[in-house]
Structure 1
């Protein structure tokens, strides 16, 4: 655990929704009980870090969160949850079914892979970093690819077609928004610090909404080869009212996803509260 009395390490992804939300907090623009040192990694690396307890505050896939609840609790602010935000399954050649097909996945601990296996348990998964999935499908290395983040805006440029929207499938199955990622803090941090960090994340998001031009260079610097249009579309899609507070509907959605993970045998039940109370 890398903490000091006056600061802490915060892990989040390179994706525009995260850099948009955390710009103000990482740059000291809003009040916080502790100053923050940013640690930017892809989401599956952050998932692995959380399993090791390496960061006191971190972004994580909801699927991965269910495995580390003994050590971490989710903030009500800063996460990614919504409608129309789900991972897509894309193909290069037409398919009629995913039964027994080889699918490139961005990681075992991603919410996306949990949804894929819930939809079609017989798929054979090949795991790779999320930005390697579309090239793999385009080359014909796999039958299909499971794409997340900004890939939903760019897959057509690889000559790929949408086979399935797993977010739409989830919404049809449950009537609930889809939980993708949460912001966690360690449960052993003082409660006052946890609550202060939660409010700092909210303040950071509000700052970005009120000063949208200010974080643009920071977001662009971490957005790989993304165009400004894709970058803004990403923010508009993934940053929403659920990012300010998960709310009662969001909590129900997370509990529904947790039940799916338990039923699939990939995580164990927990009696601990999911969110900071």
Structure 2
């Protein structure tokens, strides 16, 4: 699973997060604040996106990129000046290192915007109970649900080592260019090429149920070691209500969004037609 795919899910969380800001009376409405999307993946280069908070009552649905900022990332006594490579996108070729603490800093609207995160260590002892599954195709329509789920194989058990109750997130995505549906004629819940996630856990295992897999072919099964600020964002995204929306979690001082580190590893699962 690559970093871009991971960003898709986090971007969805942040869209909901910013929308909740606009509806909550408890948010300080001093003006449009910067919204940071900063995900530091161990071994990758640095890329930070910064946009402007969408004002309450605005008809806009796309956040305006904040351009011309002087963004600094500091770690281990070193300061890294980011370069704006696209509007609102600030990058550096500097590689991110596990176990280092990174601090983000820039000025906006007369305020100093700051955040910090520590990049966790890569997951250890990631394993699956099966590397292949054989599933008979299920055809919807024509008189009910044929056979139910009784003929499906056992869930795939994902395990890893977690000695300090860190947060871990598991994911799966079908990588085939031509995707053959397992549930023929049924609804497409996620759409082609969409990544799916299990909730963050502080445990040592998770499961992938066969009925969660929509297509035959090769899946990338990801395990991500994430930080508490990400887990809080995920939980908030799944508890939002249009009636009673609490202020969104953020670790950005004088701003919104998230600046967080993670490390990941990937295994392969092949799903074949029975």
Pick the TM interval, shorter chain: under 0.3
**Structure having the larger proportion of residues in strand:** 2
User: In terms of Rg, which structure is larger?
Assistant: 2
TM-score (norm 2): 0.25
More RCO (CA 8 Å, sep 6+): 1
